[in-house]
Structure 1
Amino acid sequence: MAAEALLTVVLDRLATIALDKVGEEFRLVTGVEKEVKSLTRNLEAIRAVLEDAEQRQVTEATVRRWLSELTEVSFEMDDVLDEWITEVLKRQMEKQEQQGETALVVATKKKVCFPCLSSCFYVGQVNRLMLRRDIAVRIKELNERVASIDKEKQSFTFQNTTTRVPELPQRQKTTSLPNVKTFGRDSEKNLIVSKLLSEGSQEKECPLIIPIVGMGGMGKTTLAQLVCNDQNVISHFDERIWVCVSDPFEEIKIAQAIIEELDKDNHSKNSTVLQTLTQCMHRLIEGKRFLLVLDDVWSPKLSQWEELIKPLRNGAMGSRVLVTTRKEETIVLMKAITQMISLKELGESCCLSLFYYNADINESSVSREFNDIGLEIVKRCNGLPLAAKTLGSLMRNKKKIHEW
């Protein structure tokens, strides 16, 4: 098992927790935020020497044992983070249900008595708090083991293969070009395409905002690329524009990118004055039916979003803005919650196909021995396409069973 691939998956999930709202649910548990930061630093320090360690394990048994312990801890950490994220998603759903129940209780308060409601609520709160503390304790224990592994690495004098260790994994800029081959997501793609092409008589919003929401590594960008390059979509819109936003949300840079996509020779794209840029956008899209994809949106302020959307309202009816984001708060700010597509985990069979494709292995001819291990690896991916793709790529040159 490639320790570097597993560490990359764990670090990506820790980055999601550090940057997203996931961490907010556990702030009442003392020390969790500090432990997450410490854990991230320790894992980054270990990852910096893994290339050398992977090479030396072939001839050095002590290095092989060290990597085995690191892999075991990484698997346990991935399980804990999965429980954490699952608990937060469950809590979000409960909040929505409680809001509806509260309204019902208020409406019927004079007619019906609910003697056990408060006690049930109290028990639920206690159970949730115990679960959070359990996860926090396990994170602390795992962090202590990782710190010990990090300390032990000093005795091996590994070569550091990175010149700089970033605090968080850096997001690579995306483009509208689709992947050569994709797996799954047909139903989600068809749903989004239908939303893009529909022209209901009751439609009043221009442009209509359609968000794709999901945790990091779930395949939001890949899905948006598939949709953007669908032949029906291509023929339906006068203009298709792709902008990779990322964090922070900078409306001037986004406006410049939109103008660049619409008219590469337009000199206004070089301006740093927002009003100049929005006026140019207003003119360029006037009367046109456009599709704008804003990929990887994090945390815009309301004032920033309102300024950016103003010129886009000058497009023709049927114009669309497709947004990919990890954060539901962003969708609430954009007032697009009713159009939201929530991206769930990829099915195991699709994950397995993605894994074999990136490992450059013909799935139909793989031996049972390799397939059994492949299934175990894919189960650890927890339905994350990015994890399956990353692990598959690292298996590409490993042709012997002991290497898996």
Structure 2
Amino acid sequence: MEAVVVSSMAEGIVKRLGSEAVREISLLWGVNEELVGLEETISTIKAVLADAEKKQIHKDQVKTWLSRLEDVVYEADDLVDVISTEALRYQVMTNNTKTTKQVCTFFSTSNQLVFRHKMSHKIESLKKKLAVIRDDRQFHLEEHYGEAQAVYNRAVRDTHSFVSKGEVIIGRDNNRMKILQLLLDTKSDHENVSVVNIMGHGGLGKTTLSRLVFNDEKVEKHFDLKMWVCLSDADFGVRLLVAKIVKSISNNEKVENCEMELLQKSLREKISGKRYLLVLDDLWNENRELWLKLKDLLLNGIDGSRIIVTTRSMVVARITKTTLEPYLLGNLDEDESWSLFQKMAFKEGQEPNNSNIIQIGKEIVKKCKGIPLAIRTIGRMLYSKD
């Protein structure tokens, strides 16, 4: 029963950490990576709790381990409550009619700076405690990732390949050119299908960069077939993923209830003899065996075919890597960050005449640490219609 209670609490923690409000506040605080790490650690522990429930009746060691774990999970639950409350307070504040003044206060007060500093340290301390308990197992517990993945499901993302003419994208021209080179240069290819990994932490614009190259005129001419599939952690069953790819090729084809045999035949036929580009956006699954099963079905394309994988995980980049090294997407520099903020926060993208507003804006940008999503989010909130 103890394992069931801990498992239920862990599930609630992961769900709250994956919420849009918490994700937004973590970016603005600069603790996004710490919270992602905490989420991953809790989800890993969640994977063994089902087996722990079965074995605790017979093993005192398992009972002791669960008791230690329960104490820390309660501590994690309290911490996530505080973060969720602060995220809610921030949302209410930014929906207020006095948005600009209040958001600036939110960023500039010494109390908030101290609060964010404390949160960062608490998250790291909690991660270390959980990691010690996770690794300190003097007994064998099987990791049931199938059960854990039903829980370890971040805020649902449903990306697409379309880029509008009015979309503001700043500071990614060099990145775009480098990815284009990896897609179009086939001289160093050692196999017919190569993987281009775009790796970086959340909010950097991996999906945006992928959309830019996906819609590039040179790419349009170079590839016979283009496919875009958005993933989530729970989506990486090979059958479901193959069905998504097939559906991205033929919008009208009903594939939901097809058996794997029909799906794999359909996929291999559709890519056969074609130089294709497939984007797998937001790949989290770190199971190499599943990846290899999928890759085997994608080898029917001709030389020069490419698969773009966007991910936050170095493990994912490593297991999907072919001959091309992962492309590490970095943060925007200071000038790029300010330029993007101007476009998002100020009317017609121009600096206001008020020097105080410019100073506060630059302080806000500095706290966003070059993360485009954070800059866009706070910029839109501050946009003045006056």
* TM-score using structure 1 length: 0.66
Residue 45 of structure 1: which of 82, 85, 88 is its match?
A: 85
Larger Rg over CA atoms: 1
Alignment coverage as a number of residue pairs: 310
Cα 1:226–1:203 change in 2 (3 A) is same
1:18 matches 2:38:
yes
CA deviation profile, 1:349-394 (whole Å, cap 9, x unmatched): 1111211212243444422222111110000001111100000011
CA deviation profile, 1:167-211 (whole Å, cap 9, x unmatched): 9861421101125120011111111101100121x5222210010
Shift of residue 263, structure 1, vs aligned partner: 1.7
Q: Which whole-Å CA distance do the structure 1 matches of 2:118 and 2:178 have between them?
A: 33
Q: Which whole-Å CA distance do the structure 2 matches of 1:21 and 1:340 have between them?
A: 24
- In the TM superposition, 1:10-89 aligns within 5 A as 10=29, 12-20=32-40, 37-52=77-92, 74-76=112-114, 78=116
Residue 176 of structure 1: which of 148, 155, 161 is its match?
A: 161
Give the match's secondary structure for 2:374: helix
Cα 1:326–1:73 change in 2 (3 A) is farther
Give the match's secondary structure for 1:48: helix
Match of 1:88 in 2: none
Identity %: 27
Shift of residue 299, structure 1, vs aligned partner: 1.7
Cα 1:379–1:181 change in 2 (3 A) is same
- Given that residues 107 and 364 in structure 2 are in contact (C-alpha distance below 8 angstroms), is that contact kept between their aligned partners in structure 1? no
Match of 2:338 in 1: 352
- In the TM superposition, 1:364-375 aligns within 5 A as 364-367=350-353, 368-375=355-362
Give the match's secondary structure for 2:347: coil
Cα 1:4–1:245 change in 2 (3 A) is closer
Match of 1:280 in 2: 266
Match of 1:104 in 2: none
Cα 1:167–1:41 change in 2 (3 A) is farther
Match of 2:285 in 1: 299
Cα 1:198–1:276 change in 2 (3 A) is same
Match of 1:94 in 2: none
Shift of residue 244, structure 1, vs aligned partner: 0.5
Match of 1:343 in 2: 329
Shift of residue 312, structure 1, vs aligned partner: 0.9
1:136 matches 2:125:
yes
Give the match's secondary structure for 1:218: coil
Shift of residue 341, structure 1, vs aligned partner: 0.3
- Given that residues 6 and 74 in structure 1 are in contact (C-alpha distance below 8 angstroms), is that contact kept between their aligned partners in structure 2? no
Unaligned 5+ runs, structure 1: 25-29, 59-63, 85-132, 141-165, 400-404
- Given that residues 251 and 304 in structure 1 are in contact (C-alpha distance below 8 angstroms), is that contact kept between their aligned partners in structure 2? yes
1:266 matches 2:257:
no
Q: Which whole-Å CA distance do the structure 2 matches of 1:4 and 1:71 have between them?
A: 21
* TM-score using structure 2 length: 0.69
CA deviation profile, 1:93-129 (whole Å, cap 9, x unmatched): xxxxxxxxxxxxxxxxxxxxxxxxxxxxxxxxxxxxx
Match of 1:232 in 2: 218
Q: Which whole-Å CA distance do the structure 2 matches of 1:216 and 1:187 have between them?
A: 20
- Given that residues 5 and 391 in structure 1 are in contact (C-alpha distance below 8 angstroms), is that contact kept between their aligned partners in structure 2? no
Mean Cα displacement is larger for which, 329-338 or 249-258? Answer: 329-338
Cα 1:209–1:19 change in 2 (3 A) is farther
Q: Which whole-Å CA distance do the structure 1 matches of 2:372 and 2:33 have between them?
A: 13
Match of 2:28 in 1: 9
Q: Which whole-Å CA distance do the structure 2 matches of 1:51 and 1:327 have between them?
A: 29
Cα 1:43–1:19 change in 2 (3 A) is closer
Amino acid at match of 1:302: R
Mean Cα displacement is larger for which, 363-372 or 185-194? Answer: 363-372
Shift of residue 37, structure 1, vs aligned partner: 4.7
Q: Which whole-Å CA distance do the structure 2 matches of 1:170 and 1:280 have between them?
A: 31
Match of 2:186 in 1: 199
CA deviation profile, 1:245-273 (whole Å, cap 9, x unmatched): 12122322221111112122334x23353
- Given that residues 283 and 309 in structure 2 are in contact (C-alpha distance below 8 angstroms), is that contact kept between their aligned partners in structure 1? yes
